[in-house]
């Protein structure tokens, strides 16, 4: 296995945003797009856009810009988005149900092909077209359906155990909605969506902007 590439997370995140903007531009009938246009749409300088894209090879021509379709295809390839990704969902509570119902995932090439729960009350139900399976079927499903990503939407208490079972079954990455940190082997990629942390960060920013707590916080020492 090759060494993990060291692309800074902010760059990787911007690639996602470039891709979305390019898709919108192509759908709007645009054939070429400049680094300035891309940057303006995303609140970045054109120098930043050119620098990011230059990391991955020569795409554009000075004064002419990028061919939108070529650049889009190229970024899709770099990001592993030129093929679909099969996913398994574990935990079909409120968050799990919303994830199953969220059709945009599928439009974007990410498809939940199996859903699991440990509750006998939920197993066997069909939710958003997906029949909920018992946890015992996880290894077999991951293998036969070529599932590479596990989505964890369980309570915090069971998240680590579920993650271990997903990794044992062979998934390569986990998107974790449960509010706890997962200990995973280094070759397994983990993404986190933590709604409480997101809200807390927002509350913190608002508190700072409005001046609450500033006297004690002592910004200059950080």
Q: Pick the closer one to a second copy by CB: 57 or 63.
A: 57
CA distances from 163 to 49, 175, 180, 186 (A): 36, 10, 11, 13
Q: Pick the closer one to a second copy by CB: 102 or 136.
A: 102
The nearest distance, CB 136 to a second copy, in angstroms, is 26
CA dihedral (42, 43, 46, 51) positive or negative: negative
Mark residue 154 as left, alpha or beta (left: phi above 0; alpha: psi -120 to 50; beta: remaining): beta
For residue 33, give the 3-state DSSP assignment. strand
Q: 88, 151 in Cβ contact below 8 A?
A: yes
H helical segments located in 58-186: 68-78, 94-101, 104-107, 138-144, 156-169
The nearest distance, CB 34 to a second copy, in angstroms, is 18
Q: Pick the closer one to a second copy by CB: 82 or 136.
A: 82
Q: 55, 79 in Cβ contact below 8 A?
A: no
Q: Pick the closer one to a second copy by CB: 68 or 75.
A: 75
Q: Pick the closer one to a second copy by CB: 138 or 182.
A: 182
The nearest distance, CB 70 to a second copy, in angstroms, is 14
Token pair 């997962």 is at which residue? 182
The nearest distance, CB 17 to a second copy, in angstroms, is 7
The nearest distance, CB 118 to a second copy, in angstroms, is 19
């Amino acid at each position: 296995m090759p060494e993990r590439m060291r692309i800074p997370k902010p760059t990787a995140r911007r690639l996602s945003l470039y891709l979305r903007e390019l898709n919108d531009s192509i759908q709007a009938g645009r054939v070429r797009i400049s680094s300035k246009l891309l940057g303006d749409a995303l609140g970045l300088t054109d120098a930043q856009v050119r620098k990011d894209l230059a990391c991955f090879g020569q795409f554009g021509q000075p004064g002419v810009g990028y061919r939108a379709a070529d650049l889009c295809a190229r970024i899709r390839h770099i990001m592993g988005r030129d093929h679909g990704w099969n996913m398994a969902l574990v935990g079909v509570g409120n968050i799990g149900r919303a994830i199953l119902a969220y059709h945009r995932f599928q439009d974007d090439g990410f498809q939940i092909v199996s859903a699991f729960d440990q509750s006998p009350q939920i197993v066997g139900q069909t939710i958003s077209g997906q029949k909920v399976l018992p946890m015992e079927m996880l290894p077999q499903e991951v293998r036969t359906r070529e599932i590479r990503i596990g989505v964890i939407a369980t309570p915090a208490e069971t998240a680590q155990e579920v993650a271990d079972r997903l990794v044992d079954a062979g998934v390569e990455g986990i998107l974790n909605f449960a509010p706890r940190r997962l200990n995973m082997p280094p070759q397994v990629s983990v993404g986190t969506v933590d709604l409480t942390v997101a809200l807390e960060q927002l509350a913190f920013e608002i508190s700072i902007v409005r001046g609450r707590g500033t006297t004690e916080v002592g910004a200059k020492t950080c």
